């Protein structure tokens, strides 16, 4: 016992010194999405803030593909030394486990949470040529044409909430896959699809310009960005809420002192007036956390989305 205590006391100063010296070289932030889009925007603003706070460059490394699994595999295989950060979105951390049968990573076994970062609602929208002005009118039209109304599939994090709503409404929609929110939005504006579920911050200007018609937001309260658009919960679906969130993680095994350093820096960056102002303009809610609270949140979200997928009749593929 005394020998073990001696070894702990011997190692502790070195561990503390290592944490105090961190970081002493550039960091890499792996983003499991292609450049552009709301996720990449949040990641790049975070990277710039962390670079200023930590005193080292933070290089954004976009590794999109296969619903985020490409980036996740690159990040989880990196040395657990704090120099590789993983931008952890809802799709990768909570929704993929609900819809993918053979996931090449485990969100909590392979990653150590650092902090929750932000949340934003989706907007259920329709092309202006569709003769509906409310969510109830969309339900009525969809029921009269089962399976004939198409929606833009832009990724599981947007499609699963829409399919869950369709299940609750008792309607059948047909998914037309697109390579992301940008192409899906273009298809909605052009009338190639009738419906889409897209992040409010990326499409609200098109709502105001009447290029698309917003029927309901998926947050629990109306968004200041589009206060005229009611929530889905208001429109006959009490309790419905689907927020797209982003977080920060590192490879599992990263020392706790380093995770603590990254957490403190992240919380400070996200609380800066500049970041808060930028995100508010895009309808993004900032919500940081401790590593422990973020891990609890991820666990709860995995359970929640697995239930949503099951209730909606979706089998992991």
CA–centroid distance for 264 within its chain: 21
CATH superfamily for 121-235 is Periplasmic binding protein-like II (3.40.190.10)
Using alpha carbons, select from 234, 241, 248, 240 the residue that is nearest to residue 289: 248
- Give the ranges where the chain is alpha helix by DSSP (H): 2-21, 37-54, 69-76, 90, 96-99, 135-144, 156-169, 181-190, 200-208, 256-270, 273-281, 291-311
The CATH topology of domain 15-118+246-311 is: D-Maltodextrin-Binding Protein; domain 2 (3.40.190)
Q: What is the pLDDT of residue 262?
A: 98
Intrachain domains 15-118+246-311 and 121-235 with the same fold = yes
**Quick one: CA dihedral 134, 178, 90, 147, positive or negative?**
positive
What string of pLDDT tens digits covers the 317 residues of the chain?
Answer: 444 444 445 444 544 444 568 999 999 999 998 887 778 889 999 999 999 999 999 999 999 888 899 999 999 999 999 999 999 999 999 999 999 989 999 999 999 999 999 999 999 999 999 999 999 999 999 999 999 999 999 888 899 999 999 999 999 999 999 877 888 999 999 999 999 999 998 899 999 999 999 999 999 999 988 899 999 999 999 999 999 999 999 999 999 999 999 999 999 999 999 999 989 888 899 999 999 999 999 999 999 999 999 988 888 88
Q: Could you tell me if 156 and 67 are in contact, meaning their C-beta atoms sit under 8 angstroms apart?
A: yes
The half-sphere exposure of 116 on its side-chain side, counting CA atoms within 13 A, is 23
Q: Which residues contact 123 (CB under 8 A, 6 or more apart)?
A: 197, 198, 199, 200, 203, 204, 207, 214, 216, 217, 218, 226, 229
| Domain ranges for the chain | 15-118+246-311, 121-235
The half-sphere exposure of 25 on its side-chain side, counting CA atoms within 13 A, is 6
- Helix crossing, 181-190 with 200-208: angle to 10°? 20
Six-digit token string for 232: 């889905």
Q: Could you tell me if 262 and 84 are in contact, meaning their C-beta atoms sit under 8 angstroms apart?
A: no
pTM for the full predicted model: 0.87
């Amino acid at each position: 016992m005394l020998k073990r205590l001696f070894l702990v006391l011997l190692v502790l100063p070195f561990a503390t010194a290592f944490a105090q010296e961190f970081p002493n070289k550039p960091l890499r932030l792996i983003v499991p999405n292609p450049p552009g889009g709301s996720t990449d925007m949040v990641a790049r603003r975070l990277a710039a803030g962390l670079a200023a706070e930590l005193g080292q460059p933070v290089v954004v490394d976009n590794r999109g593909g296969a619903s985020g699994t490409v980036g996740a595999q690159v990040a989880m295989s990196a040395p657990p030394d704090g120099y590789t950060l993983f931008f952890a979105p809802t799709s990768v951390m909570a929704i993929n486990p609900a819809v993918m049968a053979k996931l090449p990573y485990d969100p909590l076994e392979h990653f150590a949470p650092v902090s929750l970062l932000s949340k934003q609602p989706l907007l259920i929208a329709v092309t202006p040529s569709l003769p509906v002005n409310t969510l109830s009118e969309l339900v009525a039209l969809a029921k009269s044409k089962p399976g004939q109304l198409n929606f833009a599939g832009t990724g599981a994090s947007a499609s699963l909430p829409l399919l869950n709503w369709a299940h609750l409404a008792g309607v059948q929609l047909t998914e037309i896959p697109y390579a992301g929110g940008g192409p899906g939005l273009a298809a909605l504006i052009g009338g190639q699809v009738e419906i889409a579920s897209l992040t409010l911050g990326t499409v609200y200007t098109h709502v105001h310009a009447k290029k698309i018609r917003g029927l309901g937001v998926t947050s629990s309260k109306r968004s200041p960005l589009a206060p005229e658009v009611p929530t889905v919960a208001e429109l006959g679906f009490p309790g419905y809420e689907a927020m797209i969130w982003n977080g920060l993680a590192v490879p599992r095994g990263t020392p706790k002192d380093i995770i603590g350093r990254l957490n403190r820096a992240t919380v400070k960056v996200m609380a800066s007036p500049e970041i808060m102002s930028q995100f508010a303009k895009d309808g993004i809610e900032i919500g940081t956390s401790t590593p422990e609270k973020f891990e609890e949140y991820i666990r709860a979200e995995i359970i929640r989305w697995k239930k949503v997928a099951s209730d909606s009749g979706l089998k992991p593929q």
